[in-house]
Chains A and B, each alone.
Chain A
Amino acid sequence: MTETEKKKKADRTPMPEQAPEVRRRNFLEVPTGYTEEMAVTEAQRCLQCKNPGCVKGCPVNVDIPGFIKFIAERKFTEAIRHIWTTNSLPAVCGRVCPQENQCEGQCILGKKGLPVAIGNLERFAADWEREQGTGALPPKQSSTGKRVAVVGSGPSGLTVAGDLIVKGHDVTVYEAFHKAGGVLVYGIPEFRLPKAIVAQEVNFLERLGVKVECNAVVGRTVSLDELFEEGYDAIYVGVGAGLPRFMNIPGENLIGILSANEYLTRANLMKAYKFPEVDTPIPHGKNVVVLGAGNVAMDSARTAMRLGADSVRIVYRRSRTEMPARGAEIHHAEEEGIEFFLLTNPTRYIGNEKGRLIGMECLKMELGEPDASGRRRPVPVEGSEFQLECDLCIVAVGSGANPLLTSSTEDMKLNKWGYIIADEETGKTTKKGVWAGGDIVTGAATVILAMGAGRKAADSIHKYLTFGW
């Protein structure tokens, strides 16, 4: 048997994880991480393709075979350093990227068997560095004297900050919340992305010299023009989508109906699952319904289960194939006992005399002709109304563009949905000296796409600071 054949034969190394019946009631991270042995074994499966599909599948083009080779050779420090040249948040990406649609989806081993576990290896390298690495910082160029303000400390903002600080620019990140990290802190739950890891990534940037100013609501506390007056040479806007969508059906303001943004912010940022040890409460539903089937819906459903719900149901108007969540999240949710009511659409909420939610009425759907999104349009089945008992409903049907900053910046053009118009290649907006990227440009998307936009904008900002607009 040749070396290549041996590799093809080898099974993908599974990531150890907490058993479903245990983890469904705790907030500890679900996958517990590779050991060094596991990582080396998995890394050895990589065929080191000459023309690797995985790199093309990555929005920030991490040299995947390159860092995997280092792991296979047990050169873990070199592996993380290699990742850092293209990705400043590997501990995050290893955990939350939709690898199956990106790098791993392009892996040649995936054609006949299972692809190399690229995400798991990326996570391993980052975790190894955090736990056992030297803590040494990557090299940084001498100061250019140019100042950049980054608005929003989510994945795209942190990427811009990381890229520009090593190029010698002076970078300050503004965050509206009291803690930096954006969606990584308020949105993604502890059991999927421990907050200590996000804090570490932010701390890494601070050690490189990035200044982080929390409690600064740009658009209220300070405007973009005032930031320029303060002496900034360029501004990057990465404030996220940040406007919750509701269903706009009767009864939506009953007590017990929360946007996923509110529910997850209470749980994640405010740590309300520790109430009353912390002061922020969160509703504990007995029978919980989550509307939507994206990652945010899965996060909400799994949070509700961990808060002690008897039943948690995902209600989604399309079918399983259209569910936008990562495969791993759907799988984990099912293992934890989340039920799926597919092809089901709520039509109204039902409350009691105290204005508290006690149930909802739903309609069965069937798939019709494809719509504008290319997905088959769900059509109601006449007379199929039925009621679901529930005392808590989390609405996770997407977000729109939050107008707080954009409405206070008159000379920055928006599209008809309120998102910022920015050049696809450079991230330049219509306002001189201002770039934008991430969800406030594209609408709600993924961490890695926001990081990709940040990377492009950082390159463009660097060119501007060096050569002009």
Chain B
Amino acid sequence: MFKIVRREEMSQGNVVLNEIEAPKIAAKAKPGQFVILKANEEGERIPLTMADTDPAKGTITIIYMVVGKSTALFKSLKVGEGFQDVIGPLGKPTHVEKVGTVVCVGGGTGVAVLYPITRAMKKAGNRVVAIIGARNKDLLIMEDLMREASNELIVCTDDGSYGHHGFVTDKLKEVIEREKVDQAVCIGPVPMMKFCSKLTKEYNVPTLVSLNPIMVDGTGMCGGCRVTVGGKTKFGCVDGPEFDGHQVDYDELMMRLQAYCEDEKRCYEHYCTLHDAK
């Protein structure tokens, strides 16, 4: 078992942080890589990009939003309990180097994935402008950590309940027009990444996005995570999870993410009914 040593709830319990004992993974993992977690014998294998690692302590941190049965099950695990299986580190690490000014844009729980990359980009000597957004103030996560990890932090909310009233793309545009940006890293919901990439393409700013397609094994064996990048089929698990944002076919990705939506709903309802009965 992979024991949970720390657990926090954010966004009124919609978002959960688990720090998990996984010394081998913690020793190896680099920013941008993911793990696959499975709660119990009947559990599903869920890929999540790591939000942090602590090699000295031998722990990894994941942050996820509760969206269905599997994440609800993850949420039910207490400190001292744990995951039956954690596999990783998987995927290619983010290519981090000093390029000048990097804008790191995060939306929703994508901020969790963005955090270690932002920190690494700054550590590599880049000037880092971070832009994070959420639907409202309650859903905004990791503001303080992101402020610390960057040179400048801009906060946006869709409903204007905090920070800039509007989308992250508004602020991204402002920054690009204001100063020379050498690279963008955009991580969040697929539509957000799509529109960020569309914008950065207009300004010729190289852009990395991190994708989270449906997958089973995470080692290139099943091909369930097929994404079209630059007209070619790539496997999200081994060729990614990061890709050139200007080349990704986002519409296809959004479509493929819907493959099991009916099943997922049914499974979650089944779980909630059982849960309520208890």
Contacts and interface: CB of A to CB of B under 8 A. Distances in A.
Interface of A: 176-178, 214-217, 220-222, 242-244, 246, 252-253, 255-256, 258-259, 261-262, 265-266, 270-271, 275-281, 283, 354-355, 402-404
Given A222-B24, A243-B220, A265-B221, A354 B87 contact: no
Contacts of A355: 252, 255-256, 258
B217 A215 contact: no
Contact of B89 (A221, A261, A402): A221
A271 B28 CA distance: 31
B223 interface: yes
The 10 closest A-B pairs by CB, nearest first: A262-B222, A281-B263, A355-B255, A279-B44, A178-B85, A278-B42, A259-B223, A276-B267, A244-B223, A281-B260
Contact of B42 (A215, A222, A244, A277): A277
Contacts of A270: 44-45, 216
A259 B44 CA distance: 19
A277 B40 CA distance: 12
A96 to B, nearest CB: 20
Given A242-B221, A244-B221, A178 B216 contact: no
B233 interface: yes
B233 A279 contact: no
Contacts of B221: 242-244, 261, 265, 402
Given A220-B90, A279-B70, A261 B42 contact: no
Contacts of A271: 42
Contacts of B73: 279
Contacts of B270: 276
A253 B228 contact: yes
Interface in B228-278: 228, 233, 238, 252, 255-256, 258-260, 263-264, 266-267, 270-271
A253 B248 CA distance: 14
Contact of A221 (B25, B228, B252, B255): B25
Main secondary structure of the interface of B (DSSP, over half): mixed
Contacts of B267: 275-276, 279, 281
B222 A221 contact: no
B122 interface: no
A214, A255, A256: residue with the most chain B Cβ atoms closer than 10 Å? A255
B156 interface: no
12 contacts: A215-B86, A217-B87, A217-B90, A220-B90, A242-B219, A258-B224, A262-B222, A262-B224, A266-B216, A276-B263, A354-B258, A402-B219
Contacts of B69: 276, 279
A178 B38 contact: yes
A391 B194 CA distance: 29
A242 B255 contact: no
Contacts of A275: 263, 267
Give the bracket for the number of chain B residues in contact with chain A: 35 or more
Nearest to B251: A355
Interface of B: 24-25, 28, 38, 42-45, 69-70, 73, 84-90, 216-224, 226, 228, 233, 238, 252, 255-256, 258-260, 263-264, 266-267, 270-271
Contacts of B87: 176, 178, 215, 217, 221
Contact of B252 (A216, A253, A354): A253
Contacts of B271: 276
A356 B159 CA distance: 34
B256 A221 contact: no
B85 to A, nearest CB: 4
Contacts of B44: 270, 278-280
Contacts of A403: 220, 238
Contacts of A177: 217
A170 B70 CA distance: 38
B259 A255 contact: yes
A214 B224 CA distance: 22
B219 A261 contact: no
Nearest to B252: A253
A271 to B, nearest CB: 8
Nearest to B215: A262
B223 A262 contact: yes
Nearest to A178: B85
Residue among A214, A222, A265 having the largest count of chain B Cβ atoms under 10 Å = A265
A257 B73 CA distance: 29
Contacts of B258: 255, 354-355
Nearest to B262: A281
B34 to A, nearest CB: 11
Contacts of B266: 276
Nearest to A239: B219
B242 to A, nearest CB: 16
Contacts of B252: 253, 355
A279 B43 contact: yes
Given A178-B84, A217-B219, A262-B224, 17 more contacts: A178-B45, A217-B88, A242-B219, A242-B220, A244-B222, A261-B221, A270-B44, A270-B216, A271-B42, A275-B263, A279-B42, A279-B44, A279-B70, A279-B73, A280-B45, A281-B264, A402-B219
